[in-house]
Structure 1
Amino acid sequence: MANTKSAEKRNRQAQKRRARNTNVRTTVKTAVKKARETIATKDATKTGDALKDAVRTLAKAASKGVLHKRTASRRIARLTKAARKATTAAK
């Protein structure tokens, strides 16, 4: 429990940030899930669009500080690799 005005303010700020970070993380998970589902279908055009969206959301989360930049980079690389493998196997 906060005892001072400044501690109360920091607590309010932390709650706002926590809510914002949760929302961003949820958006990232949804985008990655959609990308993985479209990769499984092996449809090149849908896969490209879903991958683009997932990469954008991961990069944005990293720039906001919700995800570490290397974590985002690793996830982007793995998604891209899976998409490339799926589309080349379909050809």
Structure 2
Amino acid sequence: MFSFFNLFRIIALLEGVSYLLLLFIATPIKYLANDPQYVKLLGMPHGILFIAYIAFAFMFKKGFSWSTKQFIIILLASIIPFGTFYIDRKYLKVETK
């Protein structure tokens, strides 16, 4: 069933995957093989997913009554590798029960 909350979970997953690909595959290829095409290829989708993740977090903050501390953790997770996977397990999966 479609819901904006499920869309948020999918965006969180895709944002996390795109960040890992950008950090651990595209960036080393750029500097070690002098080939920036992968960074250019992954950069824009990751940026769009990052902005969507932040927007959805703001959208759901009040609806799920996240405290300020929880909300800051949810926002900071988007800039920490594997952070969005933790958020999905800790905060987003719990909300669906």
TM-score normalised according to structure 2 size: 0.50
Query: Could you tell me which of 11, 20, 27 is aligned with 1:31?
Result: 11
> In the TM superposition, what is the alpha-carbon distance from 1:29 to its structure 2 partner?
1.0
Q: Tell me which protein shows more helix as a share of its residues.
A: 1
- Unpaired runs of at least 5, structure 1: 1-22, 83-91
> In the TM superposition, what is the alpha-carbon distance from 1:71 to its structure 2 partner?
2.3
> In the TM superposition, what is the alpha-carbon distance from 1:27 to its structure 2 partner?
2.5
Aligned length: 61
**How do 1:2-41 residues align onto structure 2 when only pairs under 5 Å count?**
23-41=3-21
How far apart are the structure 1 equivalents of 2:45 and 2:14? 10
1:25–1:66 contact (8 Å) kept in structure 2: no
Q: Secondary structure at the match of 1:66?
A: coil
- Unpaired runs of at least 5, structure 2: 23-41, 82-97
**Counterpart amino acid of 1:72?**
F
Look up the match of 2:58. Answer: 59
1:35–1:54 contact (8 Å) kept in structure 2: yes
> Which one has more relative contact order, counting CA pairs under 8 Å at least 6 apart?
2
Look up the match of 1:48. Answer: 47
Percent of aligned positions that are identical:
3
CA-atom RMSD, angstroms?
Answer: 2.5
